[in-house]
């Protein structure tokens, strides 16, 4: 087990009706709030009204940033920073899924930064004096509600890049499974795939002997495998929504990577190029890529990890080790198919003539991955296997 520091102070308020605690939690930090949300779903579901009635009752001033898109754009970040500065905002409240939360983290970092916020994605200056953030989660997927990472897209440059700082961890996150009852089949499946993908990035790691995080990661995978099909079929199944939501919040908060020396993150980098160019739903892109990434990484060196995965997650064990590993990979693909996710990039509108350019971009800062190091040719092969 490798050395690590684990420090996750985000307060999780989990369960139905936790929204009643909203103003109490905000007022610990400020009474001037930026309320950020997406395309209006929060209005349709009534969440917006519940939030503003809660804020108004406690005389909390708020201004709004709406229209934040999936794969949130740097333009929304710039707009949010302007709103915070103009209105002397002291707290940012994200109501939505990972995209909304990520956008708010970038705003938080940018308000007291002199340059353009895109710098955080490209030059990574230290984050100083960020505004405190809170979240009201409406989608179980990215885990952004319980970590300090953000991924931001730039339409001009067709880039989708990540940033992160411990100081950007939300002060609190309200995780009410009922707020995800309205999530449709496609995004429920994509969310589950996202949760599982985060675990894959950390689980497929050559560090052995770190059983605590390994067994916990298998636990989270088993939860997603059990409950994603239920949530897809029965959108208002509280137990399924609750387990997926808590699994999401634990899958990228530092706990699962403890002692493993960090994750691989090559598949995420490969997927980000798809999302940047074709605005692919992140979890869907990952679900298509991962079985192929696994196949591509399978070797004598990495075999033991796939055996653990096969035995402990899928209960697969045969006398032939490569057969066991391949069965588990195939099972992974079948599982994603079973919850409605296609198997190929072609099916989701990716154009073959841009694969090479995307492969080049995925490795623009050098080879990617740790479990297996990938250069441009490797990435291109994985794109083609997935096409």
Q: Does 11 bind a copy of itself (CB under 8 A)?
A: yes
Residue 102, C-beta contacts closer than 8 angstroms, at least 6 positions apart: 72, 142, 144, 149, 150, 151, 152
- Kindly report the backbone phi and psi dihedral angles of residue 137, in degrees, each rounded to the nearest multiple of 5, phi listed first: -85, 135
Among 33, 166, 19, 144, which residue's Cα sits nearest to residue 92? 33
CA gap 301, 324 in Å, rounded: 15
- Contacts (CB under 8 A) with a copy of itself, residues 20-49: none
Six token digits for residue 340:
């409605």
State which residue, 2 or 360, has the beta carbon closest to a copy of itself: 2
User: In this chain, which stretch among 129-137, 195-203, 222-230, 361-369 interacts with a copy of itself, using CB under 8 A?
Assistant: 222-230
| Nearer to a copy of itself among residue 11 and residue 32 (C-beta) | 11
Contact indicator for 309, 202 with CB cutoff of 8 Å: no
Q: Which region, judged by CB under 8 A, interacts with a copy of itself, from 9-17, 87-95, 103-111, 346-354?
A: 9-17
Among 219, 277, 303, 348, which residue sits at the site for a copy of itself (rule: CB under 8 A)? Answer: 219
By CB under 8 A, residue 247 contacts a copy of itself = yes
Of 104, 128, 134, nearest to 27 by C-alpha is 134
Query: One symbol per residue from 196 to 215: x for binding a copy of itself (CB under 8 A), - otherwise; what is it?
Result: -------------xxxx--x
13 lies in the site for a copy of itself, by CB under 8 A:
yes
Is residue 180 a contact point for a copy of itself (CB under 8 A)? no
Task: Please identify, using beta-carbon distances, which residue of 195 and 270 lies nearer to a copy of itself.
Answer: 195
DSSP state of 159: E
- CA torsion through residues 330, 332, 338, 344, sign: negative
226 is a site residue for a copy of itself (CB under 8 A): yes
Q: CB-wise, 78 or 171, nearer to a copy of itself?
A: 171
Task: Give Cβ neighbours of residue 106 (< 8 Å, ≥ 6 apart).
Answer: 72, 74, 77, 80, 117, 120, 121, 150, 152, 163
Give the per-residue contact string, 133-172, with a copy of itself (x = CB under 8 A; - = no).
----------------------------------------
Could you list the residues that contact a copy of itself (CB under 8 A)? 1-18, 177, 209-212, 215-216, 218-220, 222-223, 226-227, 238-239, 242-243, 246-247, 250, 255, 258-259
């Amino acid at each position: 087990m490798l050395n690590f520091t684990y420090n996750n102070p985000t307060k999780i308020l989990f369960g139905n009706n936790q929204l009643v605690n909203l103003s109490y939690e905000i007022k610990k930090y400020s009474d001037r709030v930026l309320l950020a949300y997406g395309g209006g779903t929060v209005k349709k579901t009534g969440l917006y009204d519940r939030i503003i009635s809660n804020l108004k009752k406690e005389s909390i001033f708020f201004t709004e940033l709406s229209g934040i898109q999936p794969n949130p754009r740097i333009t929304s970040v710039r707009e949010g920073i302007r709103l915070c500065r103009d209105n002397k905002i002291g707290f940012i409240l994200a109501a939505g899924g990972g995209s909304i939360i990520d956008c708010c983290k970038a705003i938080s970092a940018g308000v007291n930064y002199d340059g353009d916020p895109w710098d955080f994605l490209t030059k990574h200056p230290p984050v100083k004096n960020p505004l405190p953030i809170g979240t009201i989660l409406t989608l179980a997927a990215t885990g952004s509600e319980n970590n300090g990472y953000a991924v931001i897209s730039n339409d001009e440059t067709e880039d989708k890049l990540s940033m992160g700082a411990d100081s950007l961890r939300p002060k609190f996150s309200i995780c009410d499974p009922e707020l995800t009852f309205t999530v449709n089949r496609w995004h429920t499946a994509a969310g589950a795939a996202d949760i599982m993908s985060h675990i894959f990035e950390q689980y497929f790691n050559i560090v052995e002997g770190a059983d605590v995080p390994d067994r916990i990661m298998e636990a989270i995978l088993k939860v997603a495998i059990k409950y994603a099909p239920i949530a897809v079929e029965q959108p208002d199944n509280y137990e399924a929504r609750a387990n997926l939501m808590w699994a999401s919040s634990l899958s990228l908060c530092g706990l699962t990577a403890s002692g493993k020396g960090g994750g691989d993150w090559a598949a995420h980098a490969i997927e980000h190029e798809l999302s940047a160019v074709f605005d692919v739903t992140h979890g869907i892109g990952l679900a298509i890529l991962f079985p192929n990434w696994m196949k591509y990484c399978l070797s004598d060196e990495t075999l033991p990890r796939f055996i653990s995965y096969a035995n402990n997650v899928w209960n697969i064990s045969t006398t032939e080790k490569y057969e066991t590993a391949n069965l588990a990979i195939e099972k992974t693909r079948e599982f994603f198919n079973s919850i409605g996710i296609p198997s190929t990039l072609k099916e989701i509108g990716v154009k073959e003539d841009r694969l090479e350019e995307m492969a080049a971009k995925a490795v623009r800062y050098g080879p990617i991955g740790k479990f297996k190091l990938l250069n441009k040719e490797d990435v291109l092969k994985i794109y083609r296997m997935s096409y």
